[in-house]
Amino acid sequence: MRRKLHFFLFLFLLITVQGYGQTWSASLVTGKLSVGTAKYLKMDMYADTIYIAFADGGNGDKATVMKYTGSGWVHVGLPGFTAGKAAELQLSVSGGTPWVAYSDGANGNRVSVMRYDGSGWVYAGSPGFSKYVATHVALAVEGGTAWVAYSDAEFNDKATVVKGSGGGWSTVGTPGFTPGMSGVYSLAVSGSTPWLAFRDYANNYRASVMKYDGSKWVFAGTPGFTPSTHDAGRRCLVADGGTAWLATRGTDAKATVYRFSGSDWAATGQGALSHDNGFGMVLGKGPTGILYAAFGDGKNSGKLSVMRFDGGTWVSMGDRFSGSSASDISVAVRSDGRPVVAYNAIIVQQYGGTTFLPEVKREEQLSIYPNPGWGNISVQWPSGFTPEGWLEVWTTGGQLVRKMEVGGDSRTVMAIEALPAGIYLIRALDRSHSAVGKVVVR
């Protein structure tokens, strides 16, 4: 009887994981959160709590920040807490503290930054601290230090980056350091190193990325390396040590994610991700380091698509699934690996699929034995695979619980004795393929 039960469980799982389940929840926003039209929507996440910020058109375009409790939305501080219009509004949550940066209508459209201190919103440094009008504002907060980039009118709309912890601001390197006018900024910080992606007017409006080496700003790779004009969301750059990823427009202006690994940039996966022009591309990084890309696809009037990078290929988690075109796109990732997206005014959805594994053909399935198993199992790679890459173990809820590097042998032994009893998905990745198998751990 137990063998028959295991067989049916295995058969059921085999059938259900053949597709990756493009399942997205209804919007977590069921009522009206803003008085008027919400503008500059941004989302971030901390400890699985979703935060959103927006400028409320019914409240003088002042900023409001809210968070999701699991059953509804509550204000973080007072709604409309800024003194005036909050244009180019940006949000970052670090250590549970939300920060916002914006072009401050109450202070001559100069840059202001505020943070929530637990009882109310307070300015970080002086309000309107840039000398002149600032546009293309970007914000990143790491370890209690905020980094702000903006197009600086004092220096002919070149980029300036400042940092501070709440008491004041210091310029990082030289103000106005880009070679010419620049915009569409995305700011990322790895350790204490800031990276800035931007539309480079000195290089045919294409994407350039610079990083601060401790004494000056230097280009990461070739300036203007993209074949198309840089156009993306404000969270299109991710940096980790000396490696960085940028979501932008590639060949034929299609959504593409490029990777910098120390020398220059190269397109990842299959290259073009969208069917037509890409819009508002953004990146999110999960707790296990997996990248997610969200973008509007011009093939269907800019509807929202989300993809996940499996190390060799970008896998769809929802192809043009929004009801209309998507703008002001944000993506963040829960601790269980499920992405959450926010867009328009205001839609927030989370992925509800049971697995993130890609669809595979029968000949691309792994052979695993013994199955059911305990202790050690043997994983046989399919013919045609180069057994050099990775083996991953996933729960059926979509959580990556183990990853091991393998190479040289088409049969790999994997220890599973530490895994709780249940059903798991095993995935093999070589340089150009992926294959899955299922195992029941006793």
How, if at all, do strands 303-309 and 314-318 pair?
antiparallel
Name the 3-class secondary structure at 323.
coil
Q: Span 2-19+360-441: which CATH code?
A: 2.60.40.3080
| C-alpha to C-alpha distances, 96 to 51, 73, 93, nearest whole angstrom | 10, 16, 6
Same fold: 2-19+360-441 with 38-350: no
What pLDDT score was predicted for residue 81?
98
Enclosing H/E stretch for 5: helix 2-16
pLDDT for 16: 37
- pLDDT for the residue numbered 364: 66
Extended beta strands in 105-168, E state: 110-116, 121-123, 134-142, 145-152, 158-164
Q: What is the pLDDT of residue 381?
A: 83
* Number of other residues whose CB lies within 10 A of the CB of residue 181: 17
Residues near 419 by Cβ (< 8 Å), separated by ≥ 6? 393, 401, 402, 441
Q: State pLDDT tens for residues 33-86.
A: 999 999 999 999 999 999 999 999 999 999 999 999 999 999 999 999 999 999
Under a CB-based contact definition with an 8 Å cutoff, are residues 431 and 386 in contact?
yes
Cβ(440)–Cβ(395) under 8 Å? no
Query: In the prediction, which pLDDT does 340 show?
Result: 97
User: pTM of the entire structure?
Assistant: 0.78
pLDDT given for residue 162 in this prediction: 98
Which residue carries 């990756």 as its tokens? 20
> Which residues does residue 306 pair with via DSSP β-bridges, in sequence order?
294, 318
Q: What is the 3-state secondary structure (H, E, C) of 357-400?
A: CCCCCHHHECEEECCCECCEEEEECCCCCCCEEEEEEEECCCCE
Question: How many angstroms separate the CA atoms of 281 and 241, rounded?
Answer: 22
d(CA 254, CA 220): 22
Using 70 as the pLDDT threshold, list the residues of the chain that sit under it: 1-22, 354-364, 386-388, 396-398, 408, 430-433
Reading phi first (left if > 0) and then psi (alpha if -120 to 50, else beta), residue 177 is in alpha
Residue 154 confidence (pLDDT): 96
Using DSSP's 3-state secondary structure scheme, residue 298 falls into helix
Q: What ranges do the domains of the chain cover?
A: 2-19+360-441, 38-350
Paired tokens of 202: 């000195």
pLDDT at site 363: 47
CB 154 within 8 A of CB 108: no
- Residue 387 phi, psi dihedral angles, 5° rounding: -75, 60
Q: In what order do the strands lie in the sheet with 347-350?
A: 330-333, 339-343, 347-350
CATH code of domain 38-350: 2.120.10.80
Cα→Cα distances 420→239, 288, 417, Å: 34, 20, 8
